[in-house]
C-alpha cells in the first residue's frame, strides 16, 4: 500500500472519481448516442440502419417540437436578459434602500422545484371562471379563457413561469458582476462630465458583457432542454395538438415511451448540434472569439 502515498501518484487518486464518472456516465453515453442514432435498437437484435433515423425524424411532431423549443428559448432570452439587468442596476444603485431584502424576495421563486411551480401555475392559470388569472381578466372586462388550450396562451404561461423562476437568479448574476466594477471608473467619468445615462452606456453595459454572454449561453442550453415545465402544466407528455411538446419531450416520447432508442438518439444528436451551432453564432456575434482591441 506504500505506493499509494507517493507524491507523484496522489493527484491521480484525487481526480480518480471524476475520471471514472466521466468515462462511465458521460463519454460512454455520448459515444453510444452517436452510435445508436445509426441503429435500430431492439432487444437482442440491434443492427445498423445507416442514416434512416435521421431521414425519418423530420415529421410534423419534430417541426412542432423544434418550433416550440425555439420560441421558448427566444422569448426567455428576450425577457430574461434585459429585465434582470435593469433590475440589478436599480438594486445596485446608491439611491436604492434595502436592496438585499428585495433581491431575496425576487430570488425565492428559484428555490421551488419545477414540479411545485407547475402545480401553482396550473391553479393560477386554471380554465374555470373563478380561478385567479381569469378573475383578473374579468376585472378588465375580458371573458374567461382556457389558458392551456391555445398555443399562444400556453406559450405565454410557460414564459411567465420561466420569468418568475429565473429572474431572481439572473439578477444575482448581474449584481455580482456590477459589484466587481471599480467605483473609480464612475468617479473619473463624473469628473469628465458624464451623466448617469452616459455612464450606463459607456461603462456599465460594456463591463457586463462577459456575464451577459455567460447568461445567454446557459439560457440557450436551458431553453432547448426545457421539458418538466410542459410535462407538469399539461399533466404528462401529451398536450392538445402538441402545443406543449418540446425537443426533450419528443426525445422522451420516442426513446422512453415508444422505446425507439435509435430514433430518440438521432433527435438527441440533432438537438446537441442545434444548440452548439446557435451558441457558436451567438458567441461570434458578441465577439468572444475576437481579439481584444
The site map against other proteins for 226-265 (x = CB under 8 A) is -xx--xx--x------------x--xx--xx----x--xx
By beta-carbon proximity to other proteins, the closer residue of 109 and 150 is 109
By beta-carbon proximity to other proteins, the closer residue of 188 and 235 is 235
**Alpha helices (H) in the chain, listed in sequence order:** 10-22, 28-36, 52-56, 60-80, 82-92, 99-107, 114-124, 132-139, 151-179, 183-191, 196-199, 205-207, 209-224, 228-233, 247-252, 261-285
Can residue 221 be called a binding residue for other proteins (CB under 8 A)? yes
Can residue 150 be called a binding residue for other proteins (CB under 8 A)? no
How many residues interact with other proteins (rule CB under 8 A)?
98
- Are 251 and 57 spatial neighbours (Cβ–Cβ below 8 Å)? no
Can residue 154 be called a binding residue for other proteins (CB under 8 A)? no
Among positions 36-75, residues that touch other proteins (CB under 8 A) are 36, 41
By beta-carbon proximity to other proteins, the closer residue of 136 and 188 is 136
* The three three-digit cell numbers of residue 36, written as one number: 445508436
By beta-carbon proximity to other proteins, the closer residue of 64 and 263 is 263
Can residue 135 be called a binding residue for other proteins (CB under 8 A)? yes
* Interface segment toward other proteins; rule CB under 8 A; list 47-55, 61-69, 209-217, 283-291: 209-217
CA distance 77 to 33: 29
- Among 237, 75, 89, 57, smallest CA distance to 158 is for 75
Amino acid at each position: 500500500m506504500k505506493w499509494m502515498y507517493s507524491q507523484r501518484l496522489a493527484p491521480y487518486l484525487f481526480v480518480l472519481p471524476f475520471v471514472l464518472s466521466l468515462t462511465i456516465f458521460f463519454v460512454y453515453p455520448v459515444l453510444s448516442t452517436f452510435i445508436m442514432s445509426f441503429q435500430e435498437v431492439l432487444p437482442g437484435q440491434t443492427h445498423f440502419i445507416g442514416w434512416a433515423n435521421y431521414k425519418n425524424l423530420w415529421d410534423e411532431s419534430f417541426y412542432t417540437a423544434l418550433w416550440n423549443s425555439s420560441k421558448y428559448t427566444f422569448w426567455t432570452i428576450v425577457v430574461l436578459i434585459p429585465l434582470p439587468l435593469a433590475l440589478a442596476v436599480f438594486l445596485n444603485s446608491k439611491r436604492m434602500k434595502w436592496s438585499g431584502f428585495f433581491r431575496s424576495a425576487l430570488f425565492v421563486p428559484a428555490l421551488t422545484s419545477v414540479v411545485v411551480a407547475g402545480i401553482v401555475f396550473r391553479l393560477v392559470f386554471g380554465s374555470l371562471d373563478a380561478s385567479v388569472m381569469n378573475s383578473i381578466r374579468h376585472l378588465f372586462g375580458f371573458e374567461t379563457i382556457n389558458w392551456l388550450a391555445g398555443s399562444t396562451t400556453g406559450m405565454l404561461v410557460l414564459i411567465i413561469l420561466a420569468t418568475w423562476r429565473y429572474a431572481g437568479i439572473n439578477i444575482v448574476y448581474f449584481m455580482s458582476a456590477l459589484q466587481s466594477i471599480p467605483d473609480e471608473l464612475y468617479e473619473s467619468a463624473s469628473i469628465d462630465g458624464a451623466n448617469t445615462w452616459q455612464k450606463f452606456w459607456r461603462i456599465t453595459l460594456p463591463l457586463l458583457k462577459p456575464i451577459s454572454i455567460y447568461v445567454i449561453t446557459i439560457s440557450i442550453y436551458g431553453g432547448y432542454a426545457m421539458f418538466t415545465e410542459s410535462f407538469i402544466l399539461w399533466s404528462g407528455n401529451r398536450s392538445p395538438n402538441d402545443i406543449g411538446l418540446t425537443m426533450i419531450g419528443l426525445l422522451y416520447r420516442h426513446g422512453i415511451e415508444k422505446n425507439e432508442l435509435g430514433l430518440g438518439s438521432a433527435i438527441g444528436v440533432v438537438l446537441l448540434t442545434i444548440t452548439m451551432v446557435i451558441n457558436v453564432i451567438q458567441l461570434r456575434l458578441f465577439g468572444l472569439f475576437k481579439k481584444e482591441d
